[in-house]
Amino acid sequence: MASVEILFEDTKLTITTASGRKFTDICDDFDTPIFFGCRAGSCATCLIEVTQGIENLSPHTNEEEVLLSILADGNPKARLACQCKVLGPIVVKVLEPT
């Protein structure tokens, strides 16, 4: 399995991990600035903006798209970290719901 690099803009933390892992599992293994509440895509605690590499995350679910349209004010780079698998290198920062 290939390795991917994730840069967290908020803390300048860079981690390397295996491709295809759930973002929640990655954040559980490392001390990241992303917090999780429900882990089911309904609380928006894990709202992030992918400033580079958004194409390297798994596709949105319909439920995630609905919540993002409400909480992220149409930001096309917003994702819920609990709903993603990391497939390639990304750069992210934590967002506050709008």
Gap between the Cα atoms of 20 and 12, Å rounded: 22
Q: What is the pLDDT of residue 98?
A: 67
**68 close to 39: Cβ distance less than 8 angstroms:** no
32's tokens: 């990241």
Gap between the Cα atoms of 60 and 78, Å rounded: 10
The residue-averaged pLDDT of 34-45 equals 88
Percent of the chain exceeding pLDDT 90 equals: 76
Query: Over the chain, what is the mean pLDDT?
Result: 93
